[in-house]
Structure 1
Amino acid sequence: MKQILSIVAFFMISAAFAQINYQPGYFISNNGAKTECLIRNVAWKDAPVEFDYKANEGAETQKGLIKNVSEFSVESYKFKRFRASVDRSSTIMDQMSTSAVPEWKTETLFLKVLVEGKVTLYQYEDGNIVKYFFSTGDHSNAEQLLYREYKEDGVINTNTKFRQQLFNLMRDKLADTKDFENIRYRKDALSKLFVEYNGGTGEMKDLTATQNRSSVNFKITPGISMGSVTIEDRLGNGIEFDFKSKPVFRIGAEVEYIMPFNNNKWALFTDPNIQFYKNDGSQGVYNWTMQYKFIELPFGARHYMFLNNDSKLFIDIAFAAVLNVGDCYIQYNEVKRGISKSSNFAAGVGFAHKQYSAEVRYGFGRGLTDLHDTWGATYSSAGLILGYKLF
């Protein structure tokens, strides 16, 4: 198990240095000069203030700074710099304003292009703040589409001026007010509207079609592990025993949420499964038996390292709550102790190819008996989990 743990730790450390992807792109300097180069594509979630680039594969990495660059692009990601008025109102309850009136502040921002055309849609994101902008004409200026949540007498109200802004902007082609009355302040809804408006111009580009999107995967996850239980004496009464490692089979199902940024390299997952461990043994005058059937509910984060379009390595770490099923106990001679509810951390490394995956996962020790007992029991495991993605 120590060897497996060392492998997990190695991959977790290695991930921090993996997957630095430089891809063909360009940037435009303040003087209008366009530079073709390789740009590090990190599929930005938050609006950047700088980016890494190099002239060619063998060249040193340089920084493109917002003060020196008016525009840059790599693959489906394009950012344009604007000096714009921003209302940074929050939708988080304890950070929410008590006024419907926007609090404008002029800032220099890189705005991400979502839909480009006669009227262009942009997104600005910073933590939990997400705002949308548009530009027209020569696209030298960007204006925020105003949506503001605020608290008033304990009730959350909204300033939805953005709907009127959109109607004023697009009524030459979309004259039906129903197109705007219920539109949500969300990327998918706004992008769809801008695509519809720009659709007949011949110059429309929907960059969201190839930008990172969130997705959900469902897998079945059978597996086998070697379970180990150690009995430790807490009062010096000589009650100690190590059960021999024993195969434990599991059947489970995983739900994985792929995050819509950083080239879909990050995911959240839950992997509920059921396992059954039963063992016995003896040492001196003590005869030991135990039965442990449990449902494990891991919740964790996963990082992917892509090898090609179909194959990838991954590492993950999870916190698992554990629920006992039926009669779970540890017994020596005639003394029987129930196994208490528990939890632990787990870490794993794996490989995925198309819809198949295989993972080696180590479950760190979790206590099985209450702290007031004269002796304690710890369960740990290391095993192989196979996965098949249904959709």
Structure 2
Amino acid sequence: MKKILAITLLLLTSASIHSQIHFESGYIIRKNNEKVSCLIKNLDWRNNPKEIEYKLGDNPEIKKENTTTVKEFGLTGHKVKFISATVKLDRSSEKLNSLGRDRAPQFSTENLFLRVLLEGDANLYLFEDENAYKFFYTHNNSEVEPLIFKSFLNTNLEIDTNDQYKQQLWMDLKCEGISMKDVNVLKYEKNSLISFFEKYNKCKNPAAAEATSFKEEIVRPNPFHMSIRLGLSNSILKTESIATQYGYPNIDFGSKISIRIGAEFEYVLPLYRNKWSIIAEPSYQSYKSDATTADGNHTVDYKSFDIPVGVRYYLFLNDDSKMFFNGVFSYNIDLGSKLNYTIFRRPLEADVKPDYNFAIGVGYKFKDRYSFELRYALNRDLTNEDRVWENKFNSTSFILGYKLF
């Protein structure tokens, strides 16, 4: 069963990688100002891209271009727009354990794609990758300039900051409605800077149309969901003794199929386009079996109320389909289970106190309503306080789900 689960995980993961590719309606403006309507591969771009992939109409050929040939690109159906620019970029680390003592930024000249955050009389841009999170701006048709911010260690080895960006904005974006207080309270953060630039653009040109904001507008549906979950579990119990030399045998109770029933509660996090969620799935499961050794018959009647809590990640395949991957920690409440051994031809009842365990799963959801999941629960010791036996219980489950809301 473990091999079947592993093969299924591999096949579904491979399929998801290919299915995740979305080409969406967009455009490219080349350096010669030629505008090309096309389908652009949407990778969400948490980090600014170094190149883009696109297709022309129904032509299956995938083309690539980068900052050397592209002046601007965007997605038509989203507030997503990038420009290419040659800028001065400071890549000094902001990690606490890597701060230097130099207050001044260490610039290098780089040709980059910058994400457009706001357009108006003054424009705001962002560059983000694994090592940098920097803002840039233009005003009065100026060249793209960095908004300077840097953390460093002062002479007392305390963390200090170079907030030169506030002086830049105070000097360059002057308007009657902008006060020194507006600048002083600024934070080197996206929402804070966007609000300031919006205020400046409105102050500078009140009669003009509202400045174009490229903040992604995510329609946030109800993040709470509840589903009914019904499935079959193939469970295995093996008892391993550390005292076989004294007549306490290893016992294999074998595999048994049982029904599991439960309810799933899900909270979708407002991150990465609703791809992450927290789940809890209280459920009931049971396992009943017996085994025979030279000493006699051994029986188990295990019943538990499980409370798995964990995280889920979605891979969107298309508008109707998505895959998901779960990782959960499961707390188990025993419901009067019985585990009886026969040792030296005398009955012996074990004290059932199940330990917690972990589980992983992969599943598929259709029309955000119907789902199935294949889940493997790692070993759980049913008698975790027993010093003689370790009762290893694991299960592989096939679970069907129906979302109520």
TM-score under structure 2 length normalisation: 0.81
Alignment match, 1:113: 116
Alignment match, 1:383: 399
1:295-306 matches, within 5 Å, as 295-306=307-318
Distance in 2 (CA, whole Å) between partners of 1:157 and 1:221 is: 50
Alignment match, 1:81: 84
Q: Which moved more, 1:57-66 or 1:286-295?
A: 286-295
Offset of residue 314 of structure 1: 2.4
Offset of residue 184 of structure 1: 2.1
Amino acid at match of 1:104: F
Offset of residue 143 of structure 1: 1.0
Structure 1 residues 72 and 165: CA distance shift in structure 2, 3 A: same
Distance in 1 (CA, whole Å) between partners of 2:131 and 2:326 is: 24
**2:97 is paired with a residue of what secondary structure?**
helix
**1:52 is paired with a residue of what secondary structure?**
strand
Distance in 2 (CA, whole Å) between partners of 1:272 and 1:245 is: 23
Offset of residue 258 of structure 1: 4.6
Asked whether the 8 Å contact 2:333–2:354 carries over to 1, the reply is no
Q: Which moved more, 1:366-375 or 1:291-300?
A: 366-375
User: What is the root-mean-square deviation in Å for CA atoms of aligned residues?
Assistant: 3.1
Alignment match, 1:70: 71
Offset of residue 358 of structure 1: 3.2
Distance in 2 (CA, whole Å) between partners of 1:387 and 1:196 is: 44
1:301-340 matches, within 5 Å, as 301-307=313-319, 311-318=320-327, 320-325=328-333, 331-333=339-341, 334-340=348-354
Distance in 2 (CA, whole Å) between partners of 1:367 and 1:360 is: 23
Amino acid at match of 2:16: A
Alignment match, 2:370: 358
Q: How many residues align?
A: 377
Match of 1:198 among 186, 201, 208: 201
Structure 1 residues 282 and 222: CA distance shift in structure 2, 3 A: same
Asked whether the 8 Å contact 2:5–2:376 carries over to 1, the reply is no
Amino acid at match of 1:244: K
Asked whether the 8 Å contact 2:178–2:200 carries over to 1, the reply is no
**1:240 is paired with a residue of what secondary structure?**
strand
Distance in 2 (CA, whole Å) between partners of 1:387 and 1:158 is: 50
Match of 1:91 among 94, 105, 126: 94
Structure 1 residues 222 and 37: CA distance shift in structure 2, 3 A: closer
Structure 1 residues 36 and 271: CA distance shift in structure 2, 3 A: closer
Alignment match, 1:136: 139
1:19-34 matches, within 5 Å, as 19-34=20-35
**2:316 is paired with a residue of what secondary structure?**
strand
* Higher relative contact order structure (alpha carbons within 8 Å, sequence separation ≥ 6): 1
Alignment match, 2:225: 219
Offset of residue 37 of structure 1: 2.9
Distance in 2 (CA, whole Å) between partners of 1:238 and 1:352 is: 45
Deviations, residues 329-379 of structure 1 (Å, cap 9, x unaligned) = 6612423143443333322223254xx533322221321226975454222
Alignment match, 1:269: 277
Q: Which moved more, 1:101-110 or 1:227-236?
A: 227-236
Structure 1 residues 243 and 15: CA distance shift in structure 2, 3 A: closer
Alignment match, 1:45: 46
Match of 1:229 among 215, 223, 235: 235
Alignment match, 2:357: 343
Structure 1 residues 109 and 41: CA distance shift in structure 2, 3 A: same
Q: Which moved more, 1:324-333 or 1:154-163?
A: 324-333
Uncovered stretches (5+) of structure 2, i.e. residues with no partner: 342-347
Give the structure with higher Rg (CA): 2
**1:15 is paired with a residue of what secondary structure?**
helix
Deviations, residues 274-328 of structure 1 (Å, cap 9, x unaligned) = 2333443333412222233332122342222232xxx33222232x222233577
Asked whether the 8 Å contact 2:238–2:392 carries over to 1, the reply is yes
Structure 1 residues 53 and 229: CA distance shift in structure 2, 3 A: closer
Asked whether the 8 Å contact 2:169–2:183 carries over to 1, the reply is yes
Asked whether the 8 Å contact 2:310–2:326 carries over to 1, the reply is no
Offset of residue 52 of structure 1: 1.0
The yes-or-no answer on 1:282 pairing with 2:290 is yes
Uncovered stretches (5+) of structure 1, i.e. residues with no partner: none
TM-score under structure 1 length normalisation: 0.84
Structure 1 residues 223 and 24: CA distance shift in structure 2, 3 A: closer
Distance in 2 (CA, whole Å) between partners of 1:120 and 1:293 is: 57
Deviations, residues 232-267 of structure 1 (Å, cap 9, x unaligned) = 25468361113632222223422222533xxx3x62
